[in-house]
């Protein structure tokens, strides 16, 4: 009987322990289950202020008045003013939404309660709502204070829509957040910050006045902002020449703050790998290539494949050199990196905020010039133009269906629905135009692509001898910079291209 008694005793002990965990009895974990890490502010190892945030001057101005409210709430109360309790930080990934929230807390020198939306979701329905209550209670006791919820869209998606309906635990948690935002008294100096890069899927109840009614948008940094971000992240890095930061800022349009930080880290790793004491320009250039295209791959490429690859890249390069609408060239390579077997890199002289029709048509010509070169010099085409065709088709369809750059269709929005059923939007994909109109869009896209390929073929046929010289140089050296490209395509200097500084690469994937 002794074994059976032991088994029964262990079963009863486990059952009591389980019931205690759920009901909150002695030895239970209800407090920890519901409060998680929200019963006290997250510890900070260093004080972060607005000086640590670069490239988001407009966003800092919008949240600066919150600092005054948290420091002196009585000044606002005297005149009956209420600062918004809910502020939604919106922007692409890596633009510094979390950093800005920490800087706001650092400037105001108040407790900072930080969490992520996914932290509220547990296996037991109601636990998330309980954690919300605990966190807001702790923030009210520590007022003035800041609550920061990262990835708000993980629990704040539109209720009652999407494939398969809602999730009980997620919706109860969202309902509790809405109730807590409405429950602030006028004298409670608590600011709730939330961050998301998908504001389009948030429930409308979250965005109404009185809740997250102030939206602060963080944009990708421009050239000046990128230089400031690089200076902040390189404070403790031994750079051989600080002027390289200007070069990197100029050559990285479209990079976010996180991208720039990662680039500097890769450069530091390169320097450590070669046992250097300083980070050189070569380390930065190699890090940029690695971030954009991946690590160099060792592939056994057959001679005929290498020749076709050189022809393909030479086609892109020649079209970009001889077409005035194309961006300035930086270099061309047939060294495999990441998923690409080669690439033609171009560097815009200035950041573009609008794209004119001539420039876009020039982009189509450059994209399809690789395939045209294969057809001209090899006699057949290959699958190497797969990415070029995809990007050219997307661009041509945008020109026709979004930007009205065709005479027949004109200025009308004919784009397909961009809703995603798995992100809380309707599963139906309605089309607001007739089948005949969709056929016209397809015909206009095909016409644009064929016209671009025809122009690319004309440019390459006109300069076929120079293109063949470029192909031979590429096969021999594998990477050519602008001066070497010009020596092959324009040795006598008859073409006067725009000034092409050796500054860096575009964030847009290189043509390849």
| Chain centroid to CA 80 | 40
Determine if residue 44 is left, alpha or beta; phi over 0 gives left, psi from -120 to 50 gives alpha, anything else beta: beta
Tell me if 440 sits within 8 A of 180, measured CB to CB.
no
> Please, which residues bridge with residue 202 across strands?
157
Can the peptide bond before residue 34 be classed as cis, meaning omega within 30 degrees of 0? Answer: no
* 3-state helix/strand/coil string of 69-101: HHHCHHHHHCCCCCCCCEEEEECCCCCCHHHHH
Tell me if 366 sits within 8 A of 320, measured CB to CB.
yes
Q: How far apart are CA 399 and CA 446, in angstroms?
A: 12
Q: How many residues does the chain have?
A: 512
Look up residue 191 and give its DSSP letter: E
- What angle, rounded to 10 degrees, do the helices at 464-477 and 303-322 form? 130
Q: Is 72 a catalytic residue?
A: no
Q: Classify residue 480 as exposed, middle or buried by CB count within 10 Å of its CB (0-12, 13-18, 19+).
A: buried
Within a 13 Å sphere around the CA of 13, how many CA atoms are in the beta-carbon half? Answer: 6
End-to-end Cα separation, the chain, in angstroms: 77
Point out the catalytic residue in the list 313, 374, 394, 451: 313
Q: Using the Cα atoms of residue 62, residue 66, residue 72 and residue 77 in order, give the sign of their dihedral.
A: positive
Structure tokens that stand for 474 in this block: 């590429």
* 3-state helix/strand/coil string of 371-407: HHHHHHHHCCCCHHHHHHHHHHHHHHHHHHHCCCCCC
Structure tokens that stand for 379 in this block: 């006699």
Q: Which residues are catalytic?
A: 313
């Amino acid at each position: 009987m002794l074994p059976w008694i032991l088994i029964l005793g262990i079963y009863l002990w486990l059952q009591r322990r389980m019931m205690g965990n759920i009901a909150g009895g002695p030895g239970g974990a209800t407090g920890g289950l519901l409060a998680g890490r929200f019963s006290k502010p997250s510890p900070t190892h260093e004080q972060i202020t607005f000086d640590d945030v670069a490239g988001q001057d407009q966003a800092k101005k919008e949240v600066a008045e919150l600092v005054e409210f948290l420091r002196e709430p009585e000044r606002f109360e005297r005149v009956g003013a209420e600062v918004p309790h809910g502020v939604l930080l919106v922007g692409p990934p890596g633009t510094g939404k979390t950093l800005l929230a920490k800087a706001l807390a650092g400037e105001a020198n108040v407790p900072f309660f930080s969490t992520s939306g996914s932290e509220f979701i547990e296996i037991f329905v109601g636990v998330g709502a309980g954690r919300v209550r605990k966190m807001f209670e702790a923030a009210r006791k520590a007022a003035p204070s800041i609550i920061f919820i990262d990835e708000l869209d993980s629990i704040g998606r539109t209720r009652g829509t999407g494939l398969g309906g809602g999730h009980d635990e997620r919706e109860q948690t969202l309902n509790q957040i809405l109730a807590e935002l409405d429950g602030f008294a006028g004298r409670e100096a608590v600011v709730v910050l939330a961050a998301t890069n998908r504001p389009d899927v948030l429930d409308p109840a979250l965005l109404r006045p009185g809740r997250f009614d102030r939206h602060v948008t963080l944009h990708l940094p421009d050239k000046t902002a990128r230089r400031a971000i690089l200076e902040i992240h390189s404070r403790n890095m031994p750079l051989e020449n600080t002027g390289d930061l200007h070069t990197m800022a100029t050559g990285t349009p479209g990079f976010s703050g996180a991208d720039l930080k990662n680039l500097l880290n890769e450069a530091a790793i390169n320097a450590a790998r070669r046992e250097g004491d300083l980070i050189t320009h070569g380390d930065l250039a190699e890090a940029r290539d690695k971030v954009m295209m991946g690590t160099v791959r060792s592939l056994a490429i057959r001679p005929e494949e290498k020749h076709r690859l050189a022809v393909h890249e030479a086609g892109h390069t020649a079209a970009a050199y001889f077409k005035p609408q194309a961006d300035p060239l930086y270099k061309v390579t047939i060294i495999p990196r990441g998923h690409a077997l080669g690439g033609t890199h171009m560097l815009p002289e200035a950041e573009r905020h609008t794209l004119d029709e001539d420039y876009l048509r020039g982009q189509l010509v450059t994209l399809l010039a690789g395939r045209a070169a294969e057809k001209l010099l090899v006699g057949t085409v290959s699958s190497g133009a797969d990415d070029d065709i995809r990007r050219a088709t997307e661009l041509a369809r945008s020109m026709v269906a979004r930007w009205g750059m065709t005479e027949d269709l004109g200025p009308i929005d004919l784009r397909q629905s961009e809703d995603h059923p798995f992100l809380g939007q309707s599963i139906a994909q309605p089309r607001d135009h007739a089948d005949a109109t969709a056929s016209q869009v397809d015909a206009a896209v095909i016409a644009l692509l064929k016209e671009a390929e025809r122009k690319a073929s004309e440019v390459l046929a006109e300069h076929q001898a120079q293109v063949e010289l470029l192909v031979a140089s590429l096969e021999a050296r594998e990477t050519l910079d602008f001066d070497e490209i010009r020596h092959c395509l324009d040795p006598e200097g008859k073409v006067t291209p725009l000034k092409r500084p050796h500054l860096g690469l575009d964030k847009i994937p290189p043509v390849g």
